[in-house]
Amino acid sequence: MSKEKAAARVRELRALIEHHNRRYYVLDSPEISDFDYDSLMRELLTLEALNPELASPDSPTQRVGALPLKTFSPMPHRVPMLSIDNAMNEAELRDFDGRVRKLLERDEVTYCCEPKFDGLAVELLYRGGVLVTGGTRGDGYTGEDVTPNLRTVKSIPLRIGGERPPELLEVRGEVVMYRKSFQELNRERSEQGEALFANPRNAAAGSLRQLDSRITAGRDLSFFAYGVSDAAALEASSQYAVLERLGGLGFRVNPEVRICKGIDEAMKFAISVQEKREALPFEIDGVVIKVDGIRDQDELGIKARSPRWALAYKFPPTQAVTVVREILVQVGRTGVLTPVAALEPVKVGGVTVSRATLHNLDEVRRKDVRKGDTVIIQRAGDVIPEIVSPVLSKRTGEEPEFAMPGACPVCGAPVIRDQGEEEEGGGQGIMFRCVNISCPAVVREQIFHFASKDALDIEGLGRKIIDKLMDKGLVKNAADLYTLTREDLLGVEGFAELSAANLLASLDRSRRTTLQRFLYGLGIPHVGTVAARDLAGHFRSLEQLTEAKAEEIEAVRGVGGVMAQAIRGFFDRGENRAVIGRLFELGLEVEPPRAGTPGDTSLSGKKFCFTGTLSRMTRSEAKEEVQSRGGNVVDSVSKSLDYLVAGAEAGSKLDRARSLGVAVLTEEDFLSMIGGV
């Protein structure tokens, strides 16, 4: 290919890839399969490698991360990034409205309202439509330059859309981590013996402040734009118009934005957001209320460190008080010891909580939690129970300080100390790990993971059953599951003819699985369900993946250097290869992903949601069918949903879909749509 043709093709590929990045990461409406996307990216990587002079900072290949920095440089803000005053109740919100109306000499003011993300505020500087610099808010006047890390966030445009972008545009917004991604990250860090993040906000902050941007690239971060430093750059006369213009330039903006006529409407909106707070996929801690008109904002002006035209109405935290009965120590799948507080059961946000993780020894010491303490607990992100602090005034002096055991509480083997990595929000954690790879707790968790719903989906194989099988010496690893016989099971306490037959039937069904499920079930460090899907779609077979070099693995979308090394290391271990080989000898069959079928984009851009019980397939299998055809699966019902698939005993989602006019499909309708799988 000539230099001219290579340059033209590079420009074409970059435009295509950024278009599909926006469809996938901003609009949640992909148009092509992961396999086709990976093919475009591989072609671009090859052309840029063969033609280094075509390298460009706005190329999508730059999202994989750069070499580590020694430190962050300061980033001054041309226009200060001011903080916003808080209102903790309705009275304070009405006081704010009264001040605004008085200064503007109005009877009623129009407000632009949106949920307040609990993430990390950043500013992105674009010149001529190209991302030049990005940094944190810092003290409002000077932040930290984290440009290499922000380039890896796929919902941030490296080049903004439009024929005539502003010569200078400073976009403000929030970097957040979705709750599912946060839970997956903490699960992986726990398995690897790394310090856990306390909440999604700390996870987002810690991920964005990595000196090695390749680590950031491996984290699932999202960016939502909420404003600009100067509305004139967008020729916008209102805050709502600013958000609309940003959306048109390729930025993701909060879909829950509302224009409210007067403070009564704003208050009603805040209450409605608070009521559905737990159903949102990301963490919020309130609602931001801004005077909508830009001229009105200018007239109101600013105080020392905050604008007079904006207020954050903060939601009350979901907390309760209870007593720590005991601090237990659990052993995970990789041998990591995790302290867990056993609590007097108490209701928090409508859910009864009896346990709360303490993450690691550093966390216990930092909070100084002890057996017998009265403690304040909350559901972090309204989901994960955590201890906020002990109530020291209730302490009697009899409460013992916690110490990690010197021997594994399950097998009695020695415990070693591992130094965790230092990250904002995660802290520098000293991890304790059982050195016995045959520890029953480790093996049990490995087998349980292999049998889990998103892996081999072996129904009826819970931890208690696995314990009984291990006690009898029938199972020592996942492959042993497929050697079990009727006679073996009938010799185990609790099994009768029917239960034995059911488990054997479930094991037999699981012998035929997909590559995505198998990769997830292997328990490879850092590989969750999303990474397993991306790896399966890219390599198409287990053989291709096991033979790939770390550099080839790192080229897969969403896979960073740390994950690539972990995958390569997993397949390099002889004991892992032995178990995999034995699984295939015992009849396991792994199907290649359907996503690679040429032209299979029949559901491209369509959003599906599932409710109720499906009889012909599991939810996970149905999700795979949609994604393999270019569609997307979401957890909630909204006006933007294309189809709700309702199985038996469908719940409130069905009522909401009907009220919104969303098309409702039966399971048979869905099967007919995808070709009767």
| pLDDT tens sequence across 367-419 | 999 999 999 988 754 456 888 889 999 999 999 999 999 999 999 998 988 65
Pick 602-673's CATH classification: 3.40.50.620, 3.40.50.10190, 1.10.10.970, 3.20.20.10: 3.40.50.10190
Residue 598, pLDDT above cutoff 50:
no
In this structure, of 20-24, 55-59, 333-337, 378-382, the range with the lowest mean pLDDT score is: 378-382
Residue 177, pLDDT above cutoff 90:
yes
Give the model's confidence band at 421: pLDDT under 50 very low, under 70 low, under 90 confident, else very high: very low
Residue 318, pLDDT above cutoff 80:
no
Kindly provide the b/e burial profile for residues 181-208, where b requires at least 16 CB atoms within 10 angstroms of the residue's own CB.
bbbbbbebbbbbbbbbbbbbbbbbbbbb
Cα separation of 289 and 323, whole Å? 38
Q: Which two tokens stand for residue 97?
A: 């409205």
Residue 64, pLDDT above cutoff 70:
no
Q: What is the average pLDDT score of the chain?
A: 86
Is CATH 2.40.50.140 correct for 319-411?
A: yes
pLDDT at residue 431, as a whole number: 78
Considering only CA atoms, which of 370, 407, 401, 375 is closest in space to residue 388? 375
pLDDT at residue 427, as a whole number: 40
Q: What is the number of other CB atoms lying within 10 angstroms of the CB of residue 648?
A: 10
Give the model's confidence band at 234: pLDDT under 50 very low, under 70 low, under 90 confident, else very high: very high
Residues with a catalytic annotation lie at 116
pLDDT at residue 382, as a whole number: 45
Considering only CA atoms, which of 105, 102, 107, 138 is closest in space to residue 123? 138
Percent of the chain, pLDDT > 90? Answer: 46
SS3 178: coil
In this structure, of 95-99, 342-346, 453-457, 526-530, the range with the lowest mean pLDDT score is: 526-530
Q: What is the mean pLDDT of residues 235-256?
A: 93
pLDDT at residue 396, as a whole number: 92
How many whole angstroms from its chain centre is CA 232? Answer: 35
- Give the CA distances from residue 362 to residues 194, 387, 404, 431, 658, in Å, rounded to whole numbers and listed in that order: 12, 14, 11, 9, 50
Q: What is the mean pLDDT of residues 109-125?
A: 94
Considering only CA atoms, which of 337, 134, 335, 336 is closest in space to residue 216? 134
Could you tell me the fold of the domain covering 86-177+221-314?
D-amino Acid Aminotransferase; Chain A, domain 1 (3.30.470)
Q: Residue 467 pairs with which residues in a beta bridge?
A: none
The dihedral of CA 25, 28, 31, 34: what is its sign? positive
In this structure, of 325-329, 569-573, 592-596, 652-656, the range with the lowest mean pLDDT score is: 592-596
The dihedral of CA 467, 471, 472, 476: what is its sign? positive
pLDDT at residue 139, as a whole number: 81
Considering only CA atoms, which of 665, 525, 551 is closest in space to residue 608? 665
- Give the CA distances from residue 616 to residues 217, 257, 649, in Å, rounded to whole numbers and listed in that order: 38, 39, 15
Domain 3-64: homologous superfamily in CATH: Helix hairpin bin (1.10.287.610)
For 113, list phi and psi in degrees, rounded to 5: -120, 145
Considering only CA atoms, which of 419, 408, 418 is closest in space to residue 443? 408
Residue 119, pLDDT above cutoff 60:
yes
Give the model's confidence band at 44: pLDDT under 50 very low, under 70 low, under 90 confident, else very high: confident
Cα separation of 23 and 309, whole Å? 34
Residue type, 45: L
Q: What is the mean pLDDT of residues 233-254?
A: 93
Q: Which two tokens stand for residue 461?
A: 């194989």
Could you tell me the fold of the domain covering 440-594?
DNA polymerase; domain 1 (1.10.150)
In this structure, of 61-65, 225-229, 563-567, the range with the lowest mean pLDDT score is: 61-65
pLDDT at residue 437, as a whole number: 72
Give the model's confidence band at 425: pLDDT under 50 very low, under 70 low, under 90 confident, else very high: very low
Q: What is the mean pLDDT of residues 56-71?
A: 69
Considering only CA atoms, which of 439, 375, 386, 447 is closest in space to residue 413? 439
Cα separation of 372 and 392, whole Å? 11
Considering only CA atoms, which of 150, 179, 165, 173 is closest in space to residue 251? 173
pLDDT at residue 34, as a whole number: 63
Check: pTM over 0.85? Answer yes or no.
no
pLDDT at residue 597, as a whole number: 47
Q: What is the mean pLDDT of residues 33-51?
A: 78
Residue 571, pLDDT above cutoff 80:
yes
Residue 140, pLDDT above cutoff 90:
no
Q: What is the mean pLDDT of residues 470-498?
A: 94
Q: Which two tokens stand for residue 649?
A: 């005993």
Cα separation of 34 and 213, whole Å? 23
Cα separation of 26 and 32, whole Å? 15
Q: What is the mean pLDDT of residues 103-122?
A: 94
Does this chain's domain 86-177+221-314 share its CATH topology with 602-673? no
Q: What is the number of other CB atoms lying within 10 angstroms of the CB of residue 222?
A: 23
- Give the CA distances from residue 82 to residues 96, 137, 181, 290, 311, in Å, rounded to whole numbers and listed in that order: 17, 9, 29, 13, 12
pLDDT at residue 191, as a whole number: 62
Cα separation of 394 and 498, whole Å? 53
Residue 677, pLDDT above cutoff 60:
no
Residue 249 · residue 163 · CB < 8 Å: no
Which of the listed ranges 64-78, 162-176, 252-266, 345-359 does the model predict with the highest average pLDDT?
Answer: 252-266
More reliable by pLDDT, 397 or 66: 397
Cα separation of 356 and 342, whole Å? 7
Which of the listed ranges 91-95, 571-575, 611-615 does the model predict with the highest average pLDDT?
Answer: 91-95
Residue 422, pLDDT above cutoff 60:
no
Rounded to 5°, the CA angle 482-488-494 comes to 110
Where along the chain do its domains lie?
3-64, 86-177+221-314, 319-411, 440-594, 602-673
Q: Residue 289 pairs with which residues in a beta bridge?
A: 113, 311
